[in-house]
Structures are given as C-alpha cells and as structure tokens.
Copies of this chain bind each other. A is one copy, B any other.
Amino acid sequence: MINRKLLLKKRPIGLPDEDTWELIDEKLPDLVEGEILIEQQYISLDPAMRGWMNDSRSYIKPIEIGDVMRAGSVGKVIKKSGKNKFNLGEYVTGWGGVQTHCISNGENLYRVDPTKSNLSTYLGVLGMPGMTAYFGILEEAKVKAGDVVLVSGAAGAVGSLVGQIAKIKGCKVVGIAGGEKKCKFIKDDLGFDDSIDYKNGNVIKEIKNKCPNGIDVYFDNVGGEILDAALIFLRRNARVILCGAISQYNNRDSIKGPKNYLSLLVNRASIKGMVVFDYAPKYEKAIDEISGWIEDGKILINEDIYEGIDNFRSIFLKLFNGNKMGKLILKVKT
C-alpha cells in the first residue's frame, strides 16, 4: 500500500514557498506487533504549524528537515498487527501529520465517535482550537457576566468559539475580522454583539466606538497593530490573553512588539501567554461541555474544508491570507 506524504524540505523565511515541502509516495512497511495502520480522513491546518517550522526554542520541538509535516488529524484504523487498544474500523485522532496513512503503536491517540459528531469536528471545536478557546476564555481570562470581551481573528477557528463561549457566559462580545462577509457572519450567525472590519476603517476608532467603556478581556490571535489598538482601551484589571500572533508569523525580520504595553501599568492589567497542551488532563470535561452546547444550539460549528493533500500548500496559505472562514481542514480522500 502506498503512503503519500509531505516532507519538510527547507525552513521557510517568510511565507512557505515551492521549495518548502516535498510530496512523495512511499510503499508502507509491514506493521510490527502492536501497531495499527490508520487511513487518514481529515488533517488539521493551524497557524501554529508555521511556528513549528522554525528552528527555534518553543513550547514544542521544531519539525526536523526531512520529517513528515506535523499536523493533527483524524483517521480510521484499517489494519492491526497483534494487540492494540484500538480495533479495526475505529476512528482515532492524534498527530498523524500531512500524509494519507500513518502507522502508530497507539500512543497519544484518542478514540473518537463518528456517530456523535462529524469527524472533522474533532479537529475543530472538539479539537485543539476548541480546547484553546474553552480554557483560554474560561480559565485564563476568567470571564464573568458583564465583561466586555474583544476577540481578534474572530471568524477563525479559535476566535469564533471564544466569542460564542463568552456570549454563553453573559459577556458583551465584539469581534475583529477581515472583510464584510466575515463581520456579517460573526454578528448574524455566531451572535456576537458587534464586529469590527480591520480591512475597512480605523481599528482604534472602531474599538472606541463599539466598546465605549473600554474592554475587560482582549483575546489576541493576531498581534501587531490590532494588539496595539486593543491595549489603548484596557479597563482596570483587564486581561489580555496571548494565544497567537498570526500577523507576525511570516515576518522576514523581527516581530513587532506592542508599543502601547505601558497601558498595562496604568490599568493594572496583564498579558498572559497560554499553551493549550497544559490543559490536556481536562480536555474530556471540556469536550463534554462543548458537545452539550452544540446539542442545545448554543454553538455553531464553523469549518472550512478543502480536498486533496496535493493542494496542501495553497490551502495552508489560506491561514495567512484571510481567504477562509473558521477552522481550516484538509480532507484527505478526494
């Protein structure tokens, strides 16, 4: 059986280009005792993947040159050799990488139930972005009813859930997104109180307009000028949750620091970084609660699915060019 896999060939400077990856076909080796073969169904595309491609100290090891491009995935067990906790026909999620098949001993894999949710959802609101939003807004930001919450990347995988959970908790939620379509979506479909189109108009003026009494929580997925704008409007004891900085990931030189950071001092506010992996022991509880919200119609699933591993690069670039809505997912089989 043939595995088609995407290898990291060269560390990109700026945006990944034609030389960054190499797609190769390889005959799968025979399974050894205790292994399973997984036929991948969906592969997760996340902004954080760009960071893993750099050779720098981070919360996770860099992807090595020549390795399969790291990615979360969900797939089906189609072969098994000897004993393994997973059975043929079961579905699992884990770090399958960007390839059509993967072989595993079962470590760091989790069973998922395709009758409860679409498989892709285990990469979205029930996967890493979902966990990030859930623990970020509840345990890091500690939102409470009445808080004014500003979210950037608001139509994205994490941001769209952050806002929806904050609404469930009784906050006033304003989302920042790029373009009229996304802004309409987060208001009309996701139920945010208001939206700010950063591609159309002055973000500072818009925040002032839409959060006239300032903000209690800013959930930052983007960094750069939007972070700087948000800092101006912090209220006393405001919390800035640092989840990502997508505007800075492909910089060719050093990233832009928030020049308005002294607003933290004046307002006794904080910026706090988070990494979702720290919450792994609590994922199950979060998945239960989010599933309940989905059933009750309180959470709208927001996924953008594209087909074909051969198109990986152009789909991956959608993370950074704004040309997608919600959680970006690659469907493996076309």
Hey, which bits of chain A sit against chain B, CB under 8 A? 57-59, 223, 228, 242-245, 248, 254-275, 278
A245–B57 Cα distance when bound, in Å, is 27
Are B275's CB and A265's CB within 8 A?
yes
7 CB < 8 A contacts A-B:
A256-B257, A257-B257, A257-B259, A258-B258, A264-B273, A268-B273, A271-B271
**Cβ–Cβ < 8 Å partners of A262 in chain B:** 223, 242, 245, 248, 255, 273
- A255–B259 CB distance below 8 A: yes
**A127–chain B nearest beta-carbon distance, Å:** 19
Task: Please report the C-alpha to C-alpha distance between residue A243 and residue B273 in the assembled complex, in whole angstroms.
Answer: 19
* Residue pair B278, A268 in contact (C-beta under 8 Å): yes
Residue of B at shortest CB range from A259?
Answer: B257
CA distance A262 to B254 in the complex (A): 11
Copies of this chain, whole number: 2
Q: Within 8 Å CB of A248, what residues of B?
A: 262
CB neighbours (8 Å) of A263 from chain B are: 273
Q: Say what secondary structure dominates the interface of chain A.
A: loop
Task: Look across to chain B and name the residue whose beta carbon is closest to the beta carbon of A278.
Answer: B268
Residue of B nearest to A275 (CB): B268
Task: State which of B57, B264, B273 has its C-beta within 8 Å of the C-beta of A265.
Answer: B273
Bound together, the chains give a CA A228 to CA B257 distance in angstroms of: 9
A272 in contact with B264 (CB, 8 Å)? yes
Nearest CB in chain B: distance from A244 CB, A = 7
A271 touches B270 (CB 8 A): yes
**Structural contact, B270 and A272, CB atoms closer than 8 A:** yes
Q: Which residues of B lie under 8 Å from residue A243 when comparing CB positions?
A: 265
Cβ of A254: which chain B residues have Cβ within 8 Å of it? 259
Report the Cα distance A272→B278, complex, angstroms.
Answer: 21
Specify which chain B residues have a CB less than 8 angstroms from the CB of A256 in the assembled complex. Answer: 257, 259
Q: Judge whether B244 and A265 touch: CB under 8 Å.
A: yes
| Chain B residue nearest to A240 in the complex (CB) | B271
CA distance A274 to B257 in the complex (A): 20
The complex places the Cα of A257 from the Cα of B272 at a distance, in Å, of 16
| Most chain B beta-carbon neighbours within 10 Å: one of A59, A248, A261 | A261
Given A243-B265, A268-B272, A268-B278, 7 other A-B residues pairs in contact with their CB atoms under 8 A: A59-B265, A59-B267, A256-B257, A256-B259, A258-B258, A265-B273, A270-B273
Residues of B within 8 A of A270 (CB): 270-273
Asked if residues A57 and B266 are in contact (CB atoms below 8 Å), the reply is: yes
Partner of A257, one of B59, B244, B261, B268: B261
Contact B265 A274 (CB under 8 A): yes
When chains A and B are docked, how far (Å) is the Cα of A268 from the Cα of B136? Answer: 12
Contacts of A260 in B (CB 8 A): 257
Report the minimum CB–CB distance from A7 to chain B (whole Å): 25
Residues from chain B with a CB closer than 8 A to the CB of A255 are: 259, 262
The interface residues of chain B lying within 8 Å CB-to-CB of A242 are 261-262, 264-265
CB <8 Å contact, B258 and A266: no
Q: How far, in angstroms, from A256 to B124 measured CA to CA in the complex?
A: 37
Cα A257 to Cα B248 with chains together (Å):
14
Chain B residues with CB under 8 A of A223: 262
Report the separation of the CA atoms of residues A269 and B272 in the bound assembly, to the nearest whole angstrom. 6
